[in-house]
Amino acid sequence: MADTHPPQHPGQVPDRIAVRGLTAHAHHGVYGFERENGQTFSVDAVLEVDTAPAAATDDLALTVNYAELAQRLHAVLTGEPVDLLETLCQRLADVCLADPLVQAAEITVHKPQADLGVAFDDVTVTIRRERP
């Protein structure tokens, strides 16, 4: 059975597993045209996970399967529309923290096609959530 306790190395930078640039067409936004037409969103998820047990045993069951994680994140990204990126970030973080091996998750949602009325490269919201 996997150990779900924090690493036993105080002060050590936690191990991280990241899925970056997960992209999908979705219908999030406050405005009707955003809900109707949709646009491209992108997600970066960085998870804090003690990877030592998996590394020691070469056992996928002792770490986060990032292929399965990507599928779950994609389902949220393309799922029920929300008004705010903050809400979307929280839903994505909840998916990550549902895995008992994940100690913390940092989620960034990118909305590069937002209508700001001025030229820009990207709009992002980033949150970090951790186990209590």
User: Model confidence over 71-119: pLDDT tens digits?
Assistant: 999 999 999 999 999 999 999 999 999 999 999 999 999 999 999 999 9
Catalytic residue among 22, 49, 96, 111: 111
Q: In the chain, helix, strand, coil percent, each to 5?
A: 30, 30, 40
The neighbouring-strand residues paired with 110 are 42, 124
Which phi and psi (to 5°) does residue 29 adopt?
Answer: 145, 160
Which phi and psi (to 5°) does residue 86 adopt?
Answer: -60, -40
67 is catalytic: no
- The domain 16-130 having CATH identifier 3.40.50.2000: the answer here is no
Q: Which of 29-33, 55-59, 70-74, 86-90 has the lowest mean pLDDT?
A: 29-33
Q: Render 21-34 in DSSP notation, one character per residue.
A: EEEEEE--SSSHHH
Domain ranges of the chain: 16-130
Q: What is the DSSP letter of 60?
A: G
pLDDT at 82: 98
